[in-house]
Structure 1
């Protein structure tokens, strides 16, 4: 027997943006799709909120539970239709515990499936994890870091570093992306993909996000005062900042306070966040475009974009995810995806930035296929504000060599 513990990714954001009545209809649609996927011979239950469980009985092997988890995730690739004329994309994160391997009483089976579900969320959401004993320690660390994060900003433990972006056509540095870092005296360096989800869950991302935006704009204005004009600053925006309150007003105030022109700021949102409710997102994003701020889709290629919505969103830039760039030169599929994204983006009049560029081969491939900009260790590691200013001022790189022929077959 196995217990699958499901939690809908970012469901609170759906409630906040569409309202609880629509949220309730979505939960009913989720329940129906779950039951259809696992079959009526298995038990599907809603525990609370957006948490569901599936009890699978008479399994031949534990791996059968993982097969069902995969089928559930695939079933939610198609949007839900909570009411006529409305489509909403949701995805589950799933934790699995198996009887009698992981526990022998119901409460412990649920607890361990829940622990595995949190690991699935930490692994990037929209995936599944099977419980193992190391997850208990991970949950304790998560709770400890959540408590420490409340004090991190006041204690000055957070800092912003900047990774330069380079034009492939001119080899000129065009700007930088602001990246948040946390150095804790008790816990050492904590990775952003570990603490940023915590900040989103407890709402601290609103305060932290505004602080990062202000720090980044202050750094850019100092660079401008030292003669480095024409640069842009990219800042990541959380879905909570987008959906709650008046973040466009916050951006306007920070730009006024720092003296940074709106066209010098670019806000980035991940593809999965943008597409979770593209119609509502498009309305929210329009306020930023009216300010004159640029908008980018980050990690493009890892989510599930609808091209119909993509052309409606007021975006200016697509950033190709590093997982595709890492494969350039030895994987024809990664190369095919990259070239297709570049051609599609240019067809829509969008700027294209490749993330995670680490060597000359990747840079040459991207130059050959007319990618606009690159970002990654081949250009520079993330630097503090002063070091980044010095790097931009002194940078005189050669333009990437054009490869003799495309890496993909005709």
Structure 2
């Protein structure tokens, strides 16, 4: 930081600019875990040698710790020069690393770039900007570079604001659960429901989960929120049974983050103490959850199976849709995403895909639920395909 401050003062005196690069090695942990720390250290030494060979004596290179490095490029008022340095670094880091004893390491890197004085006027702000730019690369697939933009700063500030407001929303009980009925297409009877969370913001009204759930996942708040949704869904299933003497299973979305937290299982204890059968709750997961940490997810899904809790894949067809995962994880239901249903009458491809999904699912013992059904035509077509269940505005909006 001292060197950066000196270079900033020099830039002011010389009326020039400087560029700050933050480099983070992608998948370095994999090398450390698979080949050991000694090989990891060897890779870091070779990385340092390769990068130093690409920069000038007047440039400053330092390792920040772990697998992060920084470079200061003084007097660099040309984007062409910055791009050239960055592209050369990416090219060199992508080359194989000979780690001796027949071992070879393969990594890439993500580089965030910010400029003084255009982007910021202080050391802390420059480092923060470079970090934001670097994480923007990570978010879009790694192995690349990104210049800091004001939009990134606004996005981060917006994320912080929503996180703070979400903490307050939990405390003030602003989160609400709506329930959308799921209909048996063979009988037209209500047989299940899906729990859908909404944020009833005091100033902005109802906020869609698409706006705040990703931030809740990133901040870890999803653990508290998700556990609360499960508890509330169990209470609703209790009330329905008490008033109608009928069990209506309620499906609840479970984030991939929740699979990694043991204390998230408190709802299972609550379910057992409720007097309801375990089939009163259906766990909904996304296709991406199956890929994220498949062994951990598999173990928990096997536990659900042993406990008699059914599992559904939400928005099927929008993610990986790897058929091997359907057998591997012993899924009970797949929910066909509404993007397929929306134009099912007019779009031949959507119609063919929907029918194929239903047929395939039935052949391996999985039941199907169509999402977003809005017209009688869609209803009748799905029924002709032998789809098992459906939900959507045709039957009912989500209600409290």
Distance 1:330 1:154, change over 3 A: same
1:126-165 mapped onto 2 (5 Å cutoff) = 134-165=151-182
Q: 1:234 aligns with which of 242, 246, 251?
A: 251
1:332 to partner: Cα distance: 2.0
1:202 to partner: Cα distance: 1.9
TM-score (norm 2): 0.67
Q: Tell me if the contact between 1:355 and 1:375 (Cα under 8 Å) persists in the aligned partners.
A: yes
Give the equivalent residue in structure 2 for 1:21: 33
Give the equivalent residue in structure 2 for 1:200: 217
Q: 1:268 aligns with which of 284, 287, 303?
A: 284
Kindly indicate whether residue 273 of structure 2 is the aligned counterpart of residue 254 of structure 1: no
In structure 1, list runs of 5 or more residues that go unmatched: 32-41, 69-91, 385-410
1:101-140 mapped onto 2 (5 Å cutoff) = 110=130, 113-114=133-134, 134-140=151-157
Distance 1:256 1:235, change over 3 A: same
Q: Tell me if the contact between 2:287 and 2:320 (Cα under 8 Å) persists in the aligned partners.
A: yes
1:283-298 mapped onto 2 (5 Å cutoff) = 283-298=299-314
Give the equivalent residue in structure 1 for 2:102: none
Structure 1 residues 199-253: Cα deviation after superposition (integer angstroms, max 9, x where no partner): 21222211211111111111111111111514211111121222221544x2331
Distance 1:294 1:186, change over 3 A: same
Q: Tell me if the contact between 1:116 and 1:130 (Cα under 8 Å) persists in the aligned partners.
A: no
Kindly indicate whether residue 226 of structure 2 is the aligned counterpart of residue 209 of structure 1: yes
Q: 2:235 aligns with which of 200, 218, 229?
A: 218
> In the aligned structure 2, how far is the partner of 1:4 from the partner of 1:265?
46
Kindly indicate whether residue 382 of structure 2 is the aligned counterpart of residue 366 of structure 1: yes
Give the equivalent residue in structure 2 for 1:340: 356
In structure 2, list runs of 5 or more residues that go unmatched: 1-20, 44-53, 56-62, 71-78, 91-107
SS across alignment from 2:250: strand
1:361 to partner: Cα distance: 2.4
> In the aligned structure 1, how far is the partner of 2:390 from the partner of 2:217?
28
1:95 to partner: Cα distance: 11
Distance 1:111 1:232, change over 3 A: same
| Structure having the higher Rg | 2
Kindly indicate whether residue 324 of structure 2 is the aligned counterpart of residue 308 of structure 1: yes
Q: Tell me if the contact between 2:223 and 2:257 (Cα under 8 Å) persists in the aligned partners.
A: yes
Distance 1:108 1:223, change over 3 A: closer
> In the aligned structure 2, how far is the partner of 1:152 from the partner of 1:275?
31
Deviates more, 1:354-363 or 1:343-352: 354-363
> In the aligned structure 2, how far is the partner of 1:325 from the partner of 1:333?
11
> In the aligned structure 1, how far is the partner of 2:396 from the partner of 2:202?
27
Superposition RMSD in Å: 4.7
1:368-387 mapped onto 2 (5 Å cutoff) = 368-384=384-400
Q: Tell me if the contact between 1:120 and 1:129 (Cα under 8 Å) persists in the aligned partners.
A: no
Q: Tell me if the contact between 1:5 and 1:113 (Cα under 8 Å) persists in the aligned partners.
A: no
- Counting matched residue pairs gives 332
> In the aligned structure 2, how far is the partner of 1:358 from the partner of 1:209?
28
Give the equivalent residue in structure 2 for 1:323: 339
